[in-house]
Amino acid sequence: MRRRHAQLGLSGVLATLVVFGLQVGAAWPDGAPPIGVGGQLTAAIQGAKLEFWPQRFAADRPLLSLLSLPLLRDRELKQFKGLYFQKLGQGMDMAEVDRAMEAAFARYDRTRDRGQLMRALRDLEARLRAYQPPPYAEEQFVYVAMGASISQGGGASPASRGWVYLVHKRLRRLFPAARVRNLAVGGTTTRHAREVQLPEALRCHPDVVTYTAGMNDLQYGVAAAEVRRNVDFVLVQLRAKTRAKIVMTLMPPGYRFPAFRLTLPKLRDRKRNVRPERVAQFNGVFRDLAARHGVQLVDIGSFLVHANSQAEVDALFSFDGVHPNNAGHAKIADIFWSGIRKALKPVSE
């Protein structure tokens, strides 16, 4: 990719980048955020040579100018993004917001009128702030998701098509009043799940909990022993203090993610951290803890392992090469739904 136009998109894709594609603000280890589209495109501006794979997005999307990148770093847009994820995670129906947001970015694509875009987003922000979720009651059926960006909806366009929300829709076929509370936060580790997400999960009185653990721990180089302590604590507390059926996943093979084919120097340490033996070590921890605590275990990386080619893998990822696209989220939803149905079998029959 050169210093001209990346074959991505603007009206839909720029909205996706601003609200869905970039990582939500978090405390990054050593001050370094996890890799993502923001880092990749910034590197492109600086002239780094990337082995990119955006060509397949060109057929049905307009060009995204790299000159739009300052907009992506706008503080107001970052605040809007954080508020969007917060309200989505609280269960707000985002259908109208998603349509209005894409329309606002489509106008910006035509006019490049930043003031008009910001006014539209401020109107949407007021709508988001007005939403207040009702309190959770023990008699309700509540689904809680814990984890990081993949559970949060990273890569889905819009984020409301992330796998957690697809699972929630299926749960509502069995339990029409089922509510969702998505506590996942992009870029976070099992320590965050233990210290921040778990207390809120307990307050929700969940009936089902899904937990995608360890993906950021893996790439940050966190020791498997620390991951074991954190995940074990979460499972012990959920088992002791809730009635929830818990479904966890094994670690997907991060070394097959498209982003790790990039030649950026910043990725060297993360490439070493996601090597196959580390993935196997983490998965050994998860298998042991699942058996010990009676947790249903699924494998969201199975479709990557059994793919016939790297091209087949790439087709399931968003253009940041780390997070699944809508097709990838749909596959993850199918896998988690299979585990949830097994866990709920006495209830759902």
pLDDT tens, 33-74?
Answer: 333 333 333 333 233 333 333 333 333 333 333 334 455 556
Do the Cβ atoms of 214 and 282 come closer than 8 Å?
yes
Parent domain of 186: 142-348
Residues 193, 273, single domain; the answer is yes
- Degrees, nearest 5: CA angle 120-122-124: 75
Nearest CA-CA partner of 198 in 217, 175, 181: 181
**How far is residue 305 CA from its own chain's centroid?**
20
**Inside any domain, residue 135:** no
State which of 96, 130, 164 marks the end of a domain. 130
Last residue of a domain, one of 69, 103, 130: 130
**pLDDT at res. 319:** 75
Asked if residue 297 lies in contact with residue 211, where contact means CB atoms within 8 angstroms, the answer is: no
Total domain count for the chain? 2
Do both 27 and 117 map to the same domain?
yes
Whether residues 146 and 215 share a domain: the answer is yes
Alpha carbon distance 9, 63 (integer Å) = 5
The answer for residues whose C-beta is within 8 angstroms of residue 221's C-beta and 6 or more apart is: 269, 273
Residue 115 lies in a domain: yes
Q: pLDDT tens string for the chain (349 positions)?
A: 333 333 334 444 445 544 444 333 333 233 333 333 333 333 332 333 333 333 333 333 333 333 344 555 567 777 888 888 899 999 999 889 888 888 888 888 788 888 888 899 899 999 999 999 988 777 789 999 999 999 999 888 888 899 999 999 999 999 999 999 999 999 899 999 999 999 999 999 999 999 999 999 998 999 999 999 999 999 999 999 999 999 999 999 887 887 776 656 666 667 778 888 999 999 999 999 999 999 999 999 888 878 778 788 888 888 777 889 999 999 999 999 999 999 998 655 5
If asked whether residues 307 and 171 sit together in one domain, one would say yes
Same domain? For 106 and 184 the reply is no
Whether residues 150 and 294 fall in one domain: yes
* Residue 224 placed within a domain: yes
Q: Which of 201, 197, 299, 204 is nearest to 247 (CA)?
A: 299
Query: Does residue 137 fall inside a structural domain?
Result: no
Q: Are residues 178 and 319 in the same domain?
A: yes
Buried b / exposed e over 79-88, threshold 16 CB at 10 Å, is ebbebbbbbb
Choose one of 98, 130, 162: the last residue of a domain.
130
Q: Is the residue at 34 inside a domain?
A: yes
DSSP 221: T
Task: Note whether residue 46 is domain-resident.
Answer: yes
278 and 339 fall within a common domain: yes
Helical packing angle, 114-130 and 95-111, nearest 10°: 170
Q: Based on the fold, state whether residues 125 and 147 are members of the same structural domain.
A: no
Contact predicate 157/19, CB 8 Å: no
Residues 64 and 13: beta-carbon distance below 8 Å: yes
pLDDT attached to residue 224: 97
- Residue 297 is given by DSSP the state E
- HSE, CB side, 13 Å, CA atoms: give it for residue 23: 20
Tell me, yes or no, whether 238 and 268 share the same domain.
Answer: yes
Query: Could you give the 3-state DSSP secondary structure of residue 15?
Result: helix
Determine the Cα–Cα distance for residues 222 and 148; give it in Å rounded to an integer. Answer: 15
Kindly state whether residues 21 and 154 are assigned to the same domain. Answer: no
The answer to whether the Cα torsion of 40, 45, 47, 50 is positive or negative is positive
Distance between alpha carbon 332 and the CA centroid of its chain, in Å?
11
Picking from 10, 19, 110, the residue whose alpha carbon sits closest to that of residue 65 is 10
Judge whether 256 and 310 are in contact, CB under 8 Å.
yes
Question: Could you tell me if 84 and 108 lie in one domain?
Answer: yes
CB 227, CB 285: distance < 8 Å: yes
Domain of 217, CATH number, reads 3.40.50.1110
- Quickly list DSSP for 45-92: HTT-------GGGSSSS--EEGGGHHHHT-HHHHHHHHHHHHHHHTT-
What are the backbone angles phi and psi of residue 25, rounded to the nearest 5°?
-55, 135
